[in-house]
Structure 1
Amino acid sequence: MADLIVFGEDWGGLPSSTQHLISHLMKRHRVIWVNSIGMRSPRLSFSDMKRVYQKIMAMLKRSDKPSQQSSEQITPIIINPKVLPFHSSKLIRQLNKRLLLRDINRAIEQEGFEKVILWLSLPTAVDMIGSLSERASIYYCGDDFEGLDGVDHKTVKPLEQELAKKVDLILVVSKTLARKFTNPNTIILPHGVDYPLFSSPTIKPHDLPENAPIAGFYGSISPWLDTDMLAQSAIALPSWQFVFIGDIKTNVSSLQALPNVHFLGPRPHNQLPSYVQHWNVAMLPFLGNKQIEACNPLKLREYLASGTPIAATPFPAVREYENLVAIQSPKEPFSRVILRANKQQKEKSIRQDTVSNESWQHRATQLEALINHLSR
């Protein structure tokens, strides 16, 4: 049975597709998880300095033995990497590689890993390929990093191109991303959904507005949201309440000024079903840009599993469910899309049934066959 060394985001936050898949694979495979080694150099901003502080504290707390988190659930061996986030420098890359190899090889020896397969979700980990006597390597591409906000595109693009040439298998989450790569070993593995979590009925949270229809969104409140369109919608629908859950990472002053708009802050992933199930309409209000064109948002299938009607701006991933989602037409006010979606309440079971066979467990089973083939 193959052992996995995974380079991803920091373990334990809102779960990414990588965390969902690896969580299921851990039932049969031992895993070393290397927390994020970054995608750009830090700036002199509060958020970046806070992030740097958190990473330094995580490294200082680390003992000589990689941490195994205490939990009733299976968790990976976690390494907090001691690296410098300056990936455009060849000298820094060599230093980072040496530091990473020291920690990872120690963990491999302590845990007795064999038949190692590398899983890379970040192009900045490219230098690890061929350095750990691995049987094979996988690049899991869940985003278009060339269009992703908060990424040093000039540095990351050539790293991703280098990575795509070196790995044995590329997994992408959408057809749009598949077109980026010439590697013939490129396979589309769409996102899944925690269907039992999002489909099981829940109690309405106390902090949701009462006695009014609700249009809601959860996730990162970032520049890819069309805040102007949302403000226009809230003004056009004064009897509706607009609820947003997540960290605010962009200017939302136009929305905060409106009496029927509410920002509730972030919530743990396992609490999200209790919110979305009690909205009248769940929103996917994205701007049209390169990142959104390539995205396959986890919340799309989570919304469907909840059964809540969905109002969305047009992008390729949502078109796959166009019979189940109210999708904005050219020049159509988004407020009308919300009202159209609200008329689809009776199709709840159809929405849920459509994604009932798209669980993360099902995706992990597909992935298991690929890993077994690579580990031979």
Structure 2
Amino acid sequence: MIVYFAGTRYDGRAGTDRHVTDALSALAPVLFVDPPSSALTRLLHPEVADTRREPELRAVHANLWRLSPRVLPGAERPGMHHLTWALMRRRVRRAAAELGQAITGVIVTVPGDLLGTAPGARTLYYATDDLVAGAELLGLPRRRLEAAEADHLARADAVAVVSPVLRDRFAGLGRDAAFVPNGCAPAAFADLDAAPWPADLPRFDRPVAGFVGNINGRIDLDMLDGVADAGHPLVLVGKHQDTCDPDRFARLTGRPDVHWVGHKAFAELPSYLRVLDVGLTPYAPDGFNRASFPLKTLEYLAAGRGVVATGLPATAWLREDPEGAALIRSAADAEAFVKAAEEELATPRTPGLQDRRRRFAERHAWERRARSLIDILGVAQ
């Protein structure tokens, strides 16, 4: 069994952790380990689903189990976090015993002392974000994140990263890392145009641009404002977080042609992507974002929609493929972003163009990423 220590909850927004473990479970038994929670978690974070009435360990589907470790309050306090990781290691070993599974591989994505969970198992540090660069946004101590990263790079049997920037940074620290970018789930959007029209959106009389994802400090609001200023309908699908300027966001969503529908489950996304003609990836070009690989760019293409994305290294990598360069418009600043969005909105969405977008996305399916991780981890399938 492969143990996957996730930075996000399985029932949260469907991101890298959930998608890659779903794909991994088609190849090997997988235990998905949620971030730890305590009796205070619901008080401090009311948006987190309450799992106290559910078993800590339960089956998700064939070959995939979920463990939601319960720990003592104050899990992230100085000194206390060491006890938290020790409790998690012990709880995972107990869960494997309850399932009758031998742990052959451990994948760690979080800054915790978890690589030694199962002595003798192969270990992989899978960097899905540059946590050190994002310390302020994440609200975590930078020194602790730096120490955890150094420990992971020194101790893990193998290292994988989602972006060229992380690969190059780790190389500068003396550790080679395999590049395993984020992927997409093309099958989830196969019948997109047959999905029901969302009840909370009107029918539009002209092409629509949209953004799907968390609306936080990573997003460049100048780009979204610019698209709205140009007079195009704009649909926003995702939770607003306080790190995105609340006043500016309120002004943006107060416009008559801007429609914010809040968070939607992954299963609901086909209906909302059906509405869009162009998907937007307006990430601010800071250090945290430059090391990221936004899922939404490939998800828009899997839905057969046009894409306008900030010129992040991940965007540049996708555009190194001639087909990617033809299908993804890239922009370096707000002015160029709005111009690219207008050009893409003016491009007719023909069946042939939709098929090209979907075929390109299929080459980046999560199943391929999962096979790469299995190979890098070096465990038998």
Q: TM-score of the superposition, structure 2-length normalised?
A: 0.84
CA distance, structure 1, for counterparts of residue 334 and residue 15 of structure 2: 33
Check the 8 A contact 1:116/1:133 in 2, yes or no.
no
Q: Aligned AA for 1:209?
A: P
Q: Percent identity?
A: 22
Compute the displacement of 1:217 (Å). 0.6
What SS does the corresponding residue of 1:160 show, helix, strand or coil? helix
Check the 8 A contact 1:84/1:92 in 2, yes or no.
no
Check the 8 A contact 1:4/1:118 in 2, yes or no.
yes
Q: Aligned AA for 2:183?
A: G
What SS does the corresponding residue of 2:123 show, helix, strand or coil? strand
* Residue 198 of structure 2 is aligned to residue 205 of structure 1: yes
Residues 20-35 of structure 1 mapped to structure 2, 5 A cutoff: 20-35=19-34
Listed as ranges, the gaps of 5+ residues in structure 1 are: none
Q: Is the alpha carbon distance of 1:328 and 1:102 closer, same or farther for their aligned partners in structure 2, counting shifts above 3 Å?
A: closer
Corresponding residue number in structure 1 for 2:159? 170
CA distance, structure 1, for counterparts of residue 3 and residue 355 of structure 2: 39
Query: Residue 129 of structure 1: which of 112, 115, 127 is its match?
Result: 115
What SS does the corresponding residue of 1:277 show, helix, strand or coil? helix
Corresponding residue number in structure 2 for 1:79? 68
Check the 8 A contact 1:62/1:80 in 2, yes or no.
no
Corresponding residue number in structure 2 for 1:364? 370
Corresponding residue number in structure 1 for 2:178? 187
Q: Is the alpha carbon distance of 1:110 and 1:72 closer, same or farther for their aligned partners in structure 2, counting shifts above 3 Å?
A: closer
Check the 8 A contact 1:305/1:356 in 2, yes or no.
yes
* Residue 4 of structure 2 is aligned to residue 6 of structure 1: yes
What SS does the corresponding residue of 1:243 show, helix, strand or coil? strand
Check the 8 A contact 1:230/1:334 in 2, yes or no.
no
Listed as ranges, the gaps of 5+ residues in structure 2 are: 320-324
What SS does the corresponding residue of 1:139 show, helix, strand or coil? strand
Q: 169-178 vs 315-324, which deviates more?
A: 315-324
Compute the displacement of 1:73 (Å). 5.4
Corresponding residue number in structure 1 for 2:281? 284
1:29-71 alpha-carbon deviations (Å, 9 max, x no partner): 2222221148xxx9xxxx984427958x53x4365xx4214x6
Query: Residue 124 of structure 2: which of 113, 124, 138 is its match?
Result: 138
Q: Is the alpha carbon distance of 1:54 and 1:19 closer, same or farther for their aligned partners in structure 2, counting shifts above 3 Å?
A: closer
Q: Is the alpha carbon distance of 1:135 and 1:279 closer, same or farther for their aligned partners in structure 2, counting shifts above 3 Å?
A: same
Check the 8 A contact 1:216/1:244 in 2, yes or no.
yes
Q: Is the alpha carbon distance of 1:301 and 1:331 closer, same or farther for their aligned partners in structure 2, counting shifts above 3 Å?
A: closer
What SS does the corresponding residue of 2:327 show, helix, strand or coil? coil
What SS does the corresponding residue of 1:255 show, helix, strand or coil? helix
CA distance, structure 1, for counterparts of residue 200 and residue 132 of structure 2: 38
Compute the displacement of 1:333 (Å). 4.8
CA distance, structure 2, for counterparts of residue 36 and residue 117 of structure 1: 19
Corresponding residue number in structure 2 for 1:93? 81
Q: Is the alpha carbon distance of 1:170 and 1:25 closer, same or farther for their aligned partners in structure 2, counting shifts above 3 Å?
A: same
CA RMSD after TM alignment = 2.7
Q: TM-score of the superposition, structure 1-length normalised?
A: 0.85
Compute the displacement of 1:87 (Å). 4.4
Corresponding residue number in structure 2 for 1:343? 346
1:329-353 alpha-carbon deviations (Å, 9 max, x no partner): 5573533221111233343222222
Compute the displacement of 1:356 (Å). 1.7
Corresponding residue number in structure 2 for 1:244? 236
What SS does the corresponding residue of 1:265 show, helix, strand or coil? coil
* Residue 328 of structure 2 is aligned to residue 328 of structure 1: no
Query: Residue 229 of structure 2: which of 223, 226, 235 is its match?
Result: 235
Compute the displacement of 1:370 (Å). 3.1
Corresponding residue number in structure 2 for 1:219? 213
Check the 8 A contact 2:307/2:344 in 1, yes or no.
yes
What SS does the corresponding residue of 2:225 show, helix, strand or coil? helix
Query: Residue 106 of structure 1: which of 79, 82, 94 is its match?
Result: 94
Check the 8 A contact 2:28/2:63 in 1, yes or no.
no
Q: Is the alpha carbon distance of 1:130 and 1:375 closer, same or farther for their aligned partners in structure 2, counting shifts above 3 Å?
A: farther
Q: Is the alpha carbon distance of 1:338 and 1:52 closer, same or farther for their aligned partners in structure 2, counting shifts above 3 Å?
A: closer
Q: Aligned AA for 1:313?
A: T
Q: Is the alpha carbon distance of 1:138 and 1:72 closer, same or farther for their aligned partners in structure 2, counting shifts above 3 Å?
A: closer
Compute the displacement of 1:313 (Å). 2.4
What SS does the corresponding residue of 1:119 show, helix, strand or coil? strand
Q: How many residues align?
A: 356
1:246-302 alpha-carbon deviations (Å, 9 max, x no partner): 101122122023111111011111221222233121111121111221111111111
1:134-160 alpha-carbon deviations (Å, 9 max, x no partner): 421111111111232224133212211
Check the 8 A contact 1:194/1:302 in 2, yes or no.
yes
What SS does the corresponding residue of 2:83 show, helix, strand or coil? helix
CA distance, structure 2, for counterparts of residue 189 and residue 219 of structure 1: 21
